[in-house]
Structure 1
Amino acid sequence: MLQGRHRQNTTRTRRGNQNASRALRRARLAKAVFDKRAPRRTSGGRTIGPQDWLLYPALLCIVATFVLATDIPLPFGWDLPEPVWPMILAFSWPLIRPSYIAPFLLAGLGFFLDYFWGAPIGFYVLCLMAVYGVTLLIRSYIVGQDLWVVTVAYGLAVFLFFALGTILTVIDTGMVPRLISVFEQMLATGVLVFFVHALLERYLHADVRFN
C-alpha cells in the first residue's frame, strides 16, 4: 500500500512539474511575442515609433537638400556645399534596426535625388541601396563599437557610394566626371558623420534590446 501511494505521489509530482514547465514556456513565449510588438522606449520613458527614426529624418534630409540647393551668395564666390543627405540614413538605418520599411523610404529618397539633381532614373536609388545592403551585412561588426569605428565605417560607405556613382556615370555617359567636384561632394557628405553619431546615440542606444 505504501509503495502504491508513493508511486501515485511520484506520478502526480511529475505531472505537476510537467504542467508547471509547460505553463512557464507558454508564459515566456507570450512575453517574447509581447516584447516584439511593444513600442521602443527611451531611457526617459518616451515611446519611439517608426515615424521618429524613419519618417522624420527622411523629411529632414529632403528639407536640407532643398535649403543647400538655394542660390545664396557667399564670400569669394563660393557656393553652398551639396552633400548627399540620405547617405546618413542609408548608413544609420540598418544599424539602428533592420526594417522592412526603411528600404522603401530609402528608394523614395533616391528617386527624389534623381529628379532633383537630374540624374538618370534609379542612379541614386542603386547607390543608396548598395550602401544600405553592405552596412546591413556588416552590422554586427559595427554596433556597440567605439565612435572611431563608426566614423571609419561611414567613411568607407561614403567612398563606396561615390565610387559606384562614378562607375555608373562612366558607363552611362562614356566620360569620366570632374573628379574634383566628386571629391568635394564626397568630403561634404563625409562631414555628415556627426549626424550619424547623433542618430545612433538617440535611437540605437536608447533601447539595448535592438543593439
Structure 2
Amino acid sequence: MTSIRLLLADDQDLVRGGLAALLSLEPDLEVVAQVGRGDEVLDAVRLHRPDIALIDIEMPGADGIEVTRQVTSALLGCRCLIVTTFGRPGYLRRAMEAGASGFVVKDTPAERLAQMVRQVASGQHVVDPQLAADSLAGGIDPLTDRERDVLRAAAAGGSIRAIAESVHLSPGTVRNHLSSAIGKTNSQNRYEAAREAQYRGWI
C-alpha cells in the first residue's frame, strides 16, 4: 500500500503532536514533516515532498491562507487542507480562492479527518458542511484590498497618522477607506469595523 505523505503546519505544539499521533495510526497515512511557522511551510514542502499539507490559519511568519497560495502557486504537487480552530465563513472563501482543496475545523473526529485527507489525495474538494452553509449565508466579502489593509492596521490600535504610516497612505486616504469600511460593515467606528471584519474572516 502506498502511503499518503503529510506535512503538518500548526504553531501549537500540542495540537500538532496530537494530529500527528492520530493520523499516524492510519496504515495509509505517513506524517513526513511538521512545522510551527507559516514561513517554514514552503521550504518544508520542497524538502519533504508531501502529498498533502494540513495547514492552520493563524500562525507566526505567514497566515495559512497566504501559505496555501504560496504552496499551490509553486506547483509542487502538494494539495492543501486547512485545519483550523477558526471556522469563519470569510476564511473559508479566502482559503478556497487561494487554492485550498479543503477546509475543516479542529474538532472534526480523527476518523473523519483521515477520510477527508484521503478524499483530498484523490483529487476531491472537502469542506465542513455547516461552514459551507454559513459561508453562503454570510455573503461575499465587500471590502477592497486597501480597506482590508487599513482595517488590519486599525485593529492594532493607534492614531490615523500611525495607521497611515503603516500602510503608506496619506491620513486623508486612510480616513476615506475607514469610512467606506465602517459603512460596509454596518459599524459605528473603525475599531468596531475591524472587529466585525475579523469575526467574518475578511481580514
What's the TM-score bracket when you normalise by the shorter of the two chains? under 0.3
Q: Name the TM-score, length of structure 2 as normaliser.
A: 0.25
Q: Which has the higher contact order (CA 8 A, sep 6+)?
A: 1
More strand by share: 2
